[in-house]
Structure 1
Amino acid sequence: MNNDIEKVLYSEEDIQAAIARLAKQVAADYQDKDPLIVSVLSGAVLFTVDLIKKMDIMAQLDFIDVSTYFGGTATTGHLKLIHDLTTDVKGRNVLITEDIVDSGRTLEYLVKLFKDRGAKSVKTVSLLNKPEGREFDVAVEYYGFKVPNEFLVGYGLDYKGYYRNLPYVGVLKPSVYSEN
């Protein structure tokens, strides 16, 4: 796996430092607000777990799975809700956790979905923010790193389901995904 990486952008230490900073910001903003933290499967799981372990607040956790990639390197433009929440968002402060906000399609869909369901507020915390890839006008209130418009893997980010378990975020060599 490591041989498929062109370069490492953020080491495990860089990531954990960013998460500690984000956890402190989020905990301060959500103190006594009983947020519902919604982790977007599958990519945001590692980030969400590390984030909530560092947040000293009362919060609930749920998961949602929405896909626009279906195994490729670019969004297909079609969105599919694969797994819905088990928690009612009505009247709740919802905090969406994402691994990366790229085109913004998924985030736009989720914010609208939760607002339509009566959420009191909806905000986003993402490890990575890729504004160059943005096609939809979405807010990312908290993020760890602003990233270049390259194909990234590791720490939850994948290519065809692989590379999520890398402890760092790196740029995948184009030769890996151009062959397929």
Structure 2
Amino acid sequence: VCSLSRKAEGVGRPGDDLDLFCVPNHYVEDLEKVFIPHGLILDRTEKLARDVMGDMGGHHIVALRVLKAGYTFFADLLDYVKALSRNSDRFFKSYCNDQSTGAVKVLGGDNLSTLAGKNILIVEDIIDFGKTMQIFLSLVQQHNPKMVEVASLLVKRTPRSIGYRLDFDGFEIPDKFVIGYALDCNEYFRDLNHVCVISETGKAKYKSEAESPG
């Protein structure tokens, strides 16, 4: 039996050349390197799903996604969790209108009043300073949930961090501007499968495009 740690994997590797991966041609000049390949992301996400099941798999769970950028990690993590729940003696379900949906219930921010007494999994794409997550946790706690745990794909090492520690974290990364796997720069790069470091050319191009009139 493999023992899986919930501690984030550090990404100390310098990254890989773009020509080793399938990268859309229109992004090649805008990327510095591939930082975390898609296959490695999926492998780590599956391990995080096992950690979630180990802690929360015996309960009915409501999953919340914080920001738009986290939708790919959110979907992949919950797909793994649901697959694990089907192959175990524990069930990962939530309830909607008093009937089991057989899946995780996803709520918008305007439905937080329904969280009372529920077991909540908050899913985020990246934790930078930790301040936003602390504010959101405070908001959720106001509605008296039974349990709240947080999962994030990336945790950034930065001196500006307020020291927030989450429950399930995928990769610990340096303080760099990363995009891909739904992380964006002014709405670009969401379609990129890998987590990549954007180049200075890319930063300048997409910042200027976003600021241009019309």
Alpha-carbon distance in structure 2 between the residues aligned to 1:43 and 1:62? 16
3-state SS, counterpart of residue 40 of structure 2: helix
Q: Deviations over 1:112-171 (max 9, x none)?
A: 000011122221101101131644342211111001100000001111011111100011
The corresponding residue for 1:31 is 57
Higher Cα Rg, which structure = 2
Alpha carbons of 1:32 and 1:173: their partners in 2 closer, same or farther (altered >3 Å)?
same
Q: In proportion to residue count, which structure has more helix?
A: 2
3-state SS, counterpart of residue 114 of structure 2: coil
Q: CA deviation at 1:20?
A: 0.7
The question of 1:128 aligning with 2:154 is answered yes
3-state SS, counterpart of residue 151 of structure 2: strand
Answer whether contact 2:112 2:143 (CA < 8 A) is retained. no
The question of 1:145 aligning with 2:171 is answered yes
Unaligned runs of 5+ in 1: 65-82
TM-score by length of 2: 0.70
Which shows bigger deviation, 32-41 or 45-54?
A: 32-41
Unaligned runs of 5+ in 2: 1-26, 86-91, 95-103, 208-214
Alpha-carbon distance in structure 1 between the residues aligned to 2:43 and 2:193? 13
The question of 1:44 aligning with 2:88 is answered no
The question of 1:53 aligning with 2:76 is answered no
Q: Name the count of aligned residue pairs.
A: 162
3-state SS, counterpart of residue 132 of structure 1: coil
Q: CA deviation at 1:174?
A: 2.2
RMSD, aligned α-carbons = 1.8
The question of 1:172 aligning with 2:198 is answered yes
Q: CA deviation at 1:87?
A: 6.6
The question of 1:116 aligning with 2:142 is answered yes
Alpha carbons of 1:54 and 1:100: their partners in 2 closer, same or farther (altered >3 Å)?
same
TM-score by length of 1: 0.82
3-state SS, counterpart of residue 174 of structure 2: coil
Alpha-carbon distance in structure 1 between the residues aligned to 2:163 and 2:111? 24
Alpha carbons of 1:87 and 1:46: their partners in 2 closer, same or farther (altered >3 Å)?
farther
Alpha-carbon distance in structure 1 between the residues aligned to 2:160 and 2:63? 23
Output the amino acid matched with 1:6: E
3-state SS, counterpart of residue 122 of structure 1: strand
3-state SS, counterpart of residue 167 of structure 1: coil
The corresponding residue for 2:89 is none
Answer whether contact 2:115 2:143 (CA < 8 A) is retained. yes
